[in-house]
């Protein structure tokens, strides 16, 4: 890894990088996202769940500064068998709601809810 001056440095393995609790503040200031540490740090190691929370907060601050943020989630993979079951279920819901005279928007909402609940 290189710093801004082009110098190379090596971070210790995460298991050796625990310096204890790191106090930090992340907030939008003057159109920039600012991260402040109470004490100087060479590195910061996060537990995965903490990294997610820090990432969410960084995104919230970026949005507060006017950034246009789009998050892309990888497409969920399902088996062919699961897909076929979802298609069958969607057909049954569509047929039932059509026979009951439901509006297209009502049918669409129910189809989406049915499919989403089946893949969660």
What's the confidence (pLDDT) of residue 117? Answer: 84
CA atoms within 13 A on the CB side of 99: 6
Structure tokens at 1: 């890894």
pLDDT tens-digit readout, 49-95: 888 999 999 999 999 999 998 888 787 788 899 889 889 989 999 99
């Amino acid at each position: 890894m290189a710093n801004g001056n082009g110098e190379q440095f090596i971070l210790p393995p995460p298991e050796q990088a625990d310096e204890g609790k790191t106090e930090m503040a992340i907030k939008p200031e003057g159109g920039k996202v600012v991260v402040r540490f109470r004490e100087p740090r060479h590195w910061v190691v996060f537990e995965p769940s903490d990294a997610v929370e820090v990432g969410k907060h960084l995104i919230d601050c970026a949005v507060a500064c006017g950034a246009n943020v789009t998050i892309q989630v990888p497409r969920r993979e399902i088996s062919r068998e699961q897909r076929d079951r979802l298609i069958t279920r969607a057909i049954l819901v569509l047929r039932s709601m059509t026979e009951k005279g439901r509006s297209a928007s009502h049918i669409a909402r129910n189809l989406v809810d049915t499919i989403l609940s089946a893949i969660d």
